[in-house]
């Protein structure tokens, strides 16, 4: 698995990996590896999340949260858009209870920050 880009922000490091498809991960600053819980997910995403975590256990246990990025983005697009006044998807670290809150729009801002950092790194 190849790490494409990563950015450290207050409270966590966010990364994008590529192993055939893009994967999104969150590493909480507490360094906890006990996993996550979800607040306000669609029932379909909650099921996919559990299944995904089980199938990719070797990668998933290395991060607070680890998910196929297209699945994550579909959930945000269908159920967590600010422009439709929908609530954010909340990912909660099981170790320290820190909440990582995402809307479709806020994830795209983070993704843009990750891509810009990668571009600056490549140019350097």
Q: What is the pLDDT of residue 110?
A: 95
Residue 35 CA to residue 65 CA, distance in Å, equals 6
Contacts of 53 (CB under 8 A, 6+ apart): 35, 60, 66
Asked whether 91 and 36 are in contact (CB, 8 A), the reply is yes
Q: Which 3 state secondary structure label does DSSP give 71?
A: helix
Q: What is the pLDDT of residue 13?
A: 94
Q: What is the pLDDT of residue 107?
A: 95
Q: What is the pLDDT of residue 57?
A: 59
Q: Which 3 state secondary structure label does DSSP give 3?
A: strand
Q: What is the pLDDT of residue 93?
A: 95
Supply angle C-alpha 80, 63, 14, rounded to 5: 55
Domain ranges of the chain: 2-123
| Alpha helices by DSSP H, 23-68 | 43-55, 57-60
Q: Consecutive sets of 10 residues in the chain, 124 residues long: mean pLDDT of each?
A: 81 87 91 87 88 64 85 92 91 95 95 83 61
């Amino acid at each position: 698995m190849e790490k494409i880009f990563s950015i450290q922000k207050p409270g966590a490091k966010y990364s994008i990996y590529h192993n055939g498809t893009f994967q999104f991960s969150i590493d909480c600053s507490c360094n906890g590896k006990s996993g996550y819980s979800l607040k306000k997910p669609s029932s379909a995403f909650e099921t996919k999340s559990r299944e995904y975590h089980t199938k990719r256990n070797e990668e998933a246990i290395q991060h607070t949260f680890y998910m196929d990025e297209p699945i994550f983005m579909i959930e945000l697009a269908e159920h967590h858009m600010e422009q439709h006044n929908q609530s954010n998807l909340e990912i909660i670290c099981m170790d320290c209870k820190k909440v990582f809150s995402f809307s479709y729009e806020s994830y795209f801002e983070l993704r843009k920050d990750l891509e810009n950092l990668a571009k600056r790194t490549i140019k350097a």
